Structure 1
Amino acid sequence: MSRTSSLPVAVGTVTSYAFWGDDGKALAAFYASALGWQVTQEYPDENGVPTAFLVTDGTTTYVFYTAKDFKAPNWPEDELPFHLDLAFDDIETAEQRLLDLGATKPAHQPGGEHWTVLKDPSGQPFCISAARAPQDA
């Protein structure tokens, strides 16, 4: 059921994507290295301890938080509320590089030839696939 309103429509934009892990700094470093981006800022908690770390390419920003009570999902048993899909020009080289950076490859691989599931150092699944050619408009 939709509700109507006489208020003007507010147009929003996504400014960043936030992820929690047991070590936000390590997670930020992992994804920055994986994507060839930079960790650009750190934000402290109320005690002055850095707990939030920004990773960006200048157009897209990810924020990685240290969460004291973080528990990685027990995937594939647990459903995931979201995950990242990353594309690379050379998928075999990318997979090996990600594994060298600390990712792991679970036995369960539902993507067949289309994608590969890896887990980041915090234990959260993400997918990698070959970069697609741009579609004609």
Structure 2
Amino acid sequence: MSLQLKLSAITLDCPDPMALAAFYQQATGLELHPKSNDEFAGLHSGDGLGDGLLLGFQRVDDYRAPSWPDQIVPQQLHICFKVADDLDEVAARLRDLGAGKPDHQPHEAKARILTDPAGHPFCLVRG
């Protein structure tokens, strides 16, 4: 029997919550949560009244960025975004916003792997 859980939030550790929220806000168009601050920032989809998804960013002292593709510092999580436009064009726009592009690109025919400014890997998938 399913518990019928509904995903409501995903939170990423980082050294600067407001800076990482700004990156993802520019990338996704999600709205900044009004109670965002230097310790925790969030972006939300939906009506902002508990419906939709919150993408959160929490400050962690001595944060160490994931080291992808090696696992010296595990990635622990990555996010995938469907992209309707040209993958290379979207990747280039995200790089202009501060994303990195690792040399290792295992599925280049259908996806691009980037890293956000805090080092978290994320995928752009042809959608």
TM category, shorter: 0.7 to 0.9
Name 2:49's counterpart in structure 1: none
TM-superposed deviation, 1:88? 1.5
**Helix, strand or coil: the match of 2:64?**
coil
Deviating beyond 3 angstroms after TM superposition, the runs of 4 or more aligned structure 1 residues are: 9-12
TM-score (structure 2 length as normaliser) = 0.83
> 1:16, 1:63 within 8 Å by CA — same for their partners in 2?
yes
Name 2:43's counterpart in structure 1: 55
Higher Cα Rg: structure 1 or 2? 1
> 2:17, 2:41 within 8 Å by CA — same for their partners in 1?
yes
- Verify: 1:88 aligned to 2:83, yes or no: yes
TM-score (structure 1 length as normaliser) = 0.77
- Verify: 1:102 aligned to 2:98, yes or no: yes
Which structure 2 residues correspond to residues 1-137 of structure 1 after superposition, within 5 A? 11-43=4-36, 50-58=38-46, 59-78=52-71, 79-90=74-85, 91-131=87-127
Q: Identity percentage over the alignment?
A: 31
Task: Give the number of aligned pairs.
Answer: 118
CA RMSD of aligned residues (A): 1.7
Structure 1 gaps, min length 5: 1-8, 45-49, 132-137
**Helix, strand or coil: the match of 1:42?**
coil
> 2:9, 2:53 within 8 Å by CA — same for their partners in 1?
yes
Structure 2 gaps, min length 5: 47-51
Give the whole-Å Cα distance in 2 for the aligned partners of 1:28 and 1:68: 17
